[in-house]
Amino acid sequence: MGSQGGFGQSKEFLDLVKSIGESRSKAEEDRIVLREIETLRRRITEPDIPKRKMKEYIIRLVYIEMLGHDASFGYIHAVKMTHDDSLLLKRTGYLAVTLFLNEDHDLIILIVNTIQKDLKSDNFLVVCAALNAVCKLINDETIPAVLQQVVELLYHPKEAVRKKAVMALHRFYQRSPSSVTHLVTNFRKKLCDNDPGVMGATLCPLFDLIMIDVNSHKDLVGSFVSILKQVAERRLPKSYDYHQTPAPFIQIKLLKILALLGSGDKQSSEQMYTIIGDIMRRSDTTSNIGNAILYECICCVSSIHPSPKLFGAAADAIAKLLKSDVHNLRYMGIDALGRLIRINPEVAEQHQLAVIDCLEDPDDTLKRKTFELLYKMTKSSNVEVIVDRMIEYMISINDNHYKTEIASRCVELAEQFAPSNRWFIQTMNKVFQHAGDLVNPKVAHNLMRLIAEGFGEDDDTADSQLRSSAVESYLRIMGEPKLPSTFLQVICWVLGEYGTADGKYSASYIGGKLCDVAEAHSSDDTVKAYAVTALMKVCSYEKAAGRKLDMLSECQSLIESLSASHSTDLQQRAYELKAIISLDGIAMENIMPLDASCEDIEVIDKSLSFLNSYVQKSLEEGAKPYLTEHERSRTRNISNFRNHDHHDASTHSLRFEAYEVPKPVISARLPPTASLTELAAVREQSYQREVHRSPSVGSLSDKGSQELRLRLDGVQKKWGRPTYSSAASPSTSDSESHTVNGTGKGKSFEPSSRRQPEVEIPEEKQKLAASLFGGTTSKSEKKQSGGGIKGSKATRSTADQTRATTAVVHPPVDLLDFGEPSGAASGSSSTVDPFKQLEGLVDTNQYSNVSKDPDLLSLYSDAASTSGQNQNQETGNLSHGSGNRTTKGPNLKDALGKDALVRQMGVTPATQNPNLFKDLLG
């Protein structure tokens, strides 16, 4: 920091750096930085700050950001500093901005204009600073704003500017390849630039282009070889040497490019042989950079068309690396040897002792790299040794990730190069024991399939010996603790299939072992399921062979406990076991054939024609026919779905319409001071309800004015006499759609011209309805389904039959009922809902335009005259809703109208047919 102090840094800043460096804990460092943040937050907003001070503040903000703290309050000041004319301040601003901001920051838009202006500057240092910012800050959207200027800078007289322009274009290609695809020729031209720095910078974008498309750059092989030769012969300036090695990084990049171009191309590879051999001879193996170039030459030799001479030189170089005492060099030699054995596996035999030494090295990284080499060089002759060493190493490590990788490699090698099935089974047992559930479940299925199929030849004796050895090994392994679940599943399956096959072990012994496994792993339902199925197989084979089945008491108790298990799968298996045990031997043999796990199940009749008689009988009894998927998709329209089978809709079909919107709860009584205007006719809010209709529904006749309703606020829903009970029987609710308002029109059959604006159903509710009921009905469909007045004769007859057979539901006891005794109520044969009869009492034409409070007497007389005019129609509808009963005595509608009016005035009627003047005036 002394050099920075020479540029005018204050003692305060140097003390900050010193105190942070001397802090003994992270907490102490955080306290120092937070105190500095508060100081800078206060000072940076002061007016008229000198530029020298602002530059120091920005550097201190950079220091804070580098320590992981937030200094976003000073970002805008760094952006402002990029606009300064001073070169030192501008470069400081660009440095801070590139460290503070990312390519998607909101402040980037404020820097684009400054960058454009600085790219045109006459001072190449300013241009270089702007190009540095371009590489860091320009994103996909702002590339077109500076692309043309950067391309022009490729021909700048200063080599530093040309080099940074190439780097900027490479960055553009990495961010948006389509923006610079037309500039590939510029990269080719810059490969021949007089300055080695520009040429070296051009190798990076060309390497990316060659990785994508090799064939289009084959013509550059000669140029790359010529450049590599010049570099190797030290024709570049001394300034490019590193540890006395001429331009080593340019050599490494050129060798990587040549490896891509020479892969599978003999003609191109022949041009490279000479220069690669020269570099391998000249490489300095005493330095790390010389060994890096040597390693890259070996990689290039393993990629291009093989050359025996180069291959021998590479093998000798690998031997030197493996004999080194440095672990890094030995690691490099193992990796290089793995590349060469792809071409010639015999090359590893020359280095077997060195490989074994690396395998026993305490360096874990080197040991893992050696196992990768052994994995590549495995064959039938050495698979046993290599797999055994891998399993030993797998047991010794605790890294589950690498243990999984080692286990998968052991399984793969055992499946490919197993010398015998017996060795394969033993190896799999070891892998399952020590890797546990980290093994892929497919490995377990492959192992079971191998045991079932045997050697794949017609040698039944060898197959039986294989299965017997598997059973013996599993019976021995079962006693070990903490066996993985996947391995236990394999054990249960093998014991169930072949546990008693050779007659060495009895069914009771195998069954007891299986029960022990199920009881020892009571929390693992999968293991218990495998154990129960294996027990079922053992019992079936024993009974099919004609031997007496003696089930142990512990097995019986296990089956009984699983019969009451919370798992339906275990319950089913337990009940199946009980049912199979009760069958005879022939049925057992047919259900559970011996050693038939690998046999394909042949379906004799895929059309299942044997079910035709059952299907026909069900259709005759009224069952619905099966609908294909195409037919079901066509019937998702709810209206069409209801019309599909209308006659059974009321009893058998599910209801797909949404629930009716509940009416708002209103207080029971009005205040005594309520004006008569509130008693006037008002429109009732209609809640549309979908009902099943026959296809032949007539259209509704239009009315001129909208239908009005009485405001029933304050009217008791249950009055003193039983015939006025509000709890209606099912017949009342069923006939609601036929008799409403005394006009024979249901609520859901009002024409659209008189219907209130429908409530919009939220989209979430529509989705919920679609998921619960299979779909929703659109508004147009609702209007179509409720567009008629009358139903078909069949519908009415069905409704009448339903009413006739429906039991009367007695209303609940009302504690405020001071009417007649309960005996009278129980003696009533039927109840009528007074609110259904109150609707429509008021004349629509008279009260459609109410401008002032009406006179009570005129209201009463008009209501009485209106009820007299509609008496015939109301009487017919009432008789239809109550099962065609004959009504005698005074007009019930008039009585209800009077009763409603006087009750709203606060007068209790003396009789069922009240007299307004007598009750009101006493």
pLDDT digits (tens, 9 = 90+) for 708-719: 455 555 555 544
Is residue 120 over pLDDT 80? yes
What is the rounded distance in angstroms from the CA atom of residue 911 to the CA atom of residue 888?
17
For a pLDDT cut of 90, what percent of the chain falls above it? Answer: 29
Q: How far apart are the first and last CA of the chain?
A: 111
- DSSP letters, 545-609, are TT------HHHHHHHHHHHT-S-HHHHHHHHHHHHHHTS-HHHHHHHS-TT-TTSPPP-S-TT-G
| Other beta carbons less than 10 A from residue 116's beta carbon | 13
pLDDT of residue 776: 39
Residue 316 to residues 173, 286, 337, 361, 735: CA-CA distances in angstroms? 40, 16, 11, 22, 103
Domain parsing of the chain, residue ranges = 440-542+554-561+584-601, 625-630+659-746+757-851, 890-922
Q: What is the mean pLDDT of residues 61-82?
A: 91
pLDDT at 129 over 90: yes
Q: How confident is the model at residue 724 (pLDDT cuts 50, 70, 90)?
A: very low
Write out pLDDT tens, residues 221-258.
999 999 999 999 999 999 999 988 999 999 999 999 99
Q: Cβ-count burial of 647 within 10 angstroms (0-12 exposed, 13-18 middle, 19+ buried)?
A: middle
Q: What local confidence, expressed as pLDDT, does residue 276 receive?
A: 94
The predicted pLDDT at position 378 comes to 86
Name the pTM for this structure: 0.57
Q: Which residue has the higher pLDDT, 146 or 354?
A: 146
Is the CB of residue 109 less than 8 Å from the CB of residue 95? no
- Tokens at residue 782, please? 């609702």
For residues 168-195, give the mean pLDDT. 90
Has residue 679 got a pLDDT over 50? no
- How many CA atoms within 13 Å lie on the side-chain side of 263? 16
- Greater confidence (781 vs 900) lies with 900
Q: Name the average pLDDT for the chain.
A: 75
Mean pLDDT throughout 870-883? 42
pLDDT of amino acid 917:
46
- Give pLDDT, residue 686: 40
Coil/strand/helix, residue 231: helix
In sequence order, which residues have a C-beta less than 8 Å from that of residue 259 and are 6 or more positions away?
Answer: 299, 300, 303, 304
pLDDT in tens, 417-462: 888 878 888 888 889 888 877 888 888 888 888 888 876 666 778 7
What integer is the mean pLDDT of 761-767? 60
* Model confidence pLDDT, tens digit, residues 769-821: 443 334 433 434 333 444 433 334 344 444 444 444 444 444 444 444 444 44
Residue 782 confidence (pLDDT): 38
For 325-340, how does the pLDDT look when each residue is reduced to its tens digit (9 = 90+)?
899 999 999 999 999 9
In which band, very low, low, confident or very high, does the pLDDT at 8 lie, cut at 50, 70 and 90?
A: low
Question: Which range among 400-404, 631-635, 810-814 shows the weakest confidence by mean pLDDT?
Answer: 810-814
Residue 307 has pLDDT above 80, yes or no: yes
642-651, long-range: CB within 8 Å, 24+ apart, which pairs? 642/692, 642/693, 642/785, 643/695, 646/692, 646/694, 646/695, 646/795, 647/794, 647/798, 648/622, 649/692, 650/692, 650/798, 650/802
Question: Residue 767's pLDDT band (boundaries 50, 70, 90)?
Answer: low
Residue 210 has pLDDT above 90, yes or no: yes
519, 546 contact by CB (below 8 A)? no
Out of 9-18, 74-83, 719-728, 777-786, pick the least confident.
777-786
Of 824, 810, 820, whose CA–CA distance to 732 is shortest? 810
Report how far apart, in Å, the C-alpha atoms of 85 and of each of 75, 82, 94, 486 are.
Answer: 19, 8, 13, 73
